[in-house]
Structure 1
Amino acid sequence: MYINNSNITLPEDPNTIVWKYLDLSKFLDMLLSRQLFMSRSDKFEDQYEGTFSEPTFEEIKKIAANNPKFLDYYKSHREKVVISSWHINEYESFAMWQIFTQNTEGLAIQTTIGKLKEALYPEKKVEQYIGEVKYIDYKKEYIPFDDTFFPFLFKRKSFQYEREVRIISDVTSNNLKIDNGLKIDVDLSLLIEKIYIHPKSENWYKNLVIELVKKLGYDITIEKSDLESDILI
């Protein structure tokens, strides 16, 4: 179950398709633990993650002139926010396969916004929010800072291809020490609608994934990527 926040926007249609591209080891860890890994926000490759655009930062600096702790809070806050990223797309994305799977042994989880919401259990430790990322010009556009989640729902325009939806949790009030991330309980039978195997993978690999999923007690539809269909000529 996710917590609704009227300031956080999402596509209205619950049947909007979303994807998560990952390697086999992370996928198996998810199945074995029955949990979803959320990465600490300052561990992402994008160094701007959870930071502010220039117009917003100028405003924050004025406030911080009389209250230095105000700026320190935003700097340290990134260590207390964890994120699980998903990609909105009706179809598979060739770019996502290339960027988020390191070799031909990658997988893609397909689900919907509605199922993503339903699959989250109420967490005793942390609350979860789901929001769509907005892509802006960090030199010109303003990011509101009246909500501590806002910096994590904006990215630079150069990342527009990600079309990202995020599950976000803030563990500040829970006194949790986060190293690389945090695992949260999820209903995987609800979460995973279908699994797609990397388009460049061999048939033996697809059969291995099918066997592993079955032995772990899951009934999940597994398909070879549509990007590797037979050429008609």
Structure 2
Amino acid sequence: MYVPNSQITLPDPDTIVWKYLDLSKFLDLLLCRQLFMSRSDKFEDQYEGTFSEPTFEELKRLSEDKPGFLDYYKNHRKNVVVSSWHINEYESFAMWQIFTRNNEGLAIQSTIGRMQEALKPETRYEQHIGAVDYIDYKKEYIPFDNSFFPFLFKRKSFQYEREVRIVADLTEHNLSINEGVKTDVDINQLIEKIYIHPKSENWYKRLVMQLMQQLGFDFEIEKSDLESDILI
């Protein structure tokens, strides 16, 4: 269930978003009709879900006569799960390089509005959508009056990601989360178009089309424009 939050920055509903993934993860999404959300402290960035230095100094002051105050924030990361998407009007060569391997990846194209609608069906988890702000962690402040804020800020070094996130806090569910969780999603609403890896062979596109037909999906499929024929 998508729950709007007025304090979280959300792009316009028509904003185009992308998810780059390999074939196995794409098939898992279609077969399960569930979106995988990673545990926040499992990301490669060790700062994920942490605070900037100015915020940390304030938290330390507040914790002086509140034992366990800082421990809450340290433990909170393992209860928050995230699905990351890339904001871009066009395909990103960098995203293909980072998130796909062996020339056999795919990209899902969607919009913020479609994502909101896809998360509306009843589900166990409340999900919030927010755009990531990229800041200087040595100088800039991250507010902590909302438990989702630490997960919607990243260091400026990651600006190329242009990330928007679906975030869920599972603390109240008392779950033992390993790598992450799967949450129900309306696949047909979520996916607007599928793009095939720019360096893939024709057989791979035919395979993807055949697999989707057998699974009962009829998404529009295109080969990436990044490897189109030159004009001269």
- Fold similarity call, TM over 0.5: yes
Report matched runs for 1:65-80 at 5 Å: 65-80=64-79
For 1:125 and 1:174, locate their aligned partners in 2 and report how far apart those are by CA, in whole Å: 9
1:6 and 2:11 aligned: no
Q: What is the CA–CA distance in structure 1 between the aligned matches of 2:180 and 2:27, rounded to whole Å? A: 17
Please name the residue that 1:143 is paired with: 142
Task: Specify the SS of the correspondent of 2:68.
Answer: helix
Q: 1:104-126 CA distances to partner (integer Å, 9 max, x unpaired)?
A: 11110000000000001344421
CA RMSD of aligned residues (A): 0.9
Tell me the equivalent position of 1:94: 93
* Cα distance in 2 between the residues matched to 1:173 and 1:198: 40
| C-alpha contact 1:123 1:184 (8 A) present in aligned 2 | no
SS of equivalent residue, structure 2 residue 177: coil
Amino acid at match of 1:87: H
For residue 173 of structure 1, report the CA deviation from its aligned partner. Answer: 0.8
Residue 188 of structure 1 corresponds to 187
Q: How does 1:81-120 map to 2 (within 5 A)?
A: 81-120=80-119
**C-alpha separation in 2, matches of 1:68 and 1:144:** 21
Letter in 2 for 1:185: D
Per-residue CA deviations over 1:15-56 (Å, capped at 9, x if unaligned) read 110000001000000000000000000000111000000110
- 2:135 and 2:203 mapped to 1: Cα distance? 43
> Is 1:56 aligned to 2:48, yes or no?
no
SS in 2 for 1:68: coil
- Note the alpha carbon deviations across 1:40-86, whole angstroms, 9 max, x for none: 00000111000000110111111122223110000000000000001
Q: In structure 2, how many angstroms separate the alpha carbons of the residues matched to 1:226 and 1:122? A: 34
Task: Report the number of matched residues.
Answer: 232
- Shift in Å, 1:176: 1.6
Q: Is the 8 A contact 2:123 2:183 kept in 1?
A: no
Q: Which runs of 5+ in 1 are unaligned?
A: none
Letter in 2 for 1:3: V
Does the alignment pair 1:130 with 2:153? Answer: no
Using the TM superposition, give the Cα deviation of residue 188 of structure 1 relative to its aligned residue in structure 2, in angstroms: 0.6
Q: Which whole-Å CA distance do the structure 2 matches of 1:122 and 1:189 have between them?
A: 12
Q: Partner of 2:153 in structure 1?
A: 154
Q: Letter of the 2:5 partner, please give it.
A: N
Deviates more, 1:25-34 or 1:175-184: 175-184
Which 5+ residue runs of structure 2 have no aligned equivalent?
none
Q: Secondary structure at the match of 1:130?
A: strand
What CA deviation, in whole Å up to 9, does each residue of 1:142-182 have, x standing for no partner?
A: 00011110000000001111111100000001112111001
Pairs within 5 Å for 1:160-171: 160-171=159-170
TM-score w.r.t. the length of structure 2 is 0.98
Give 1:189 shift.
0.6
Contact 1:121–1:185 (CA<8 Å) still a contact in 2? no
Q: Does 2:9 match 1:17? A: no
Identical counterparts, % of pairs: 76
SS of the aligned residue for 1:179 comes to coil
Give the 4+ runs in structure 1 shifted more than 3 A.
Answer: 121-124
Alpha-carbon separation, structure 1, partners of 2:170 and 2:213: 35
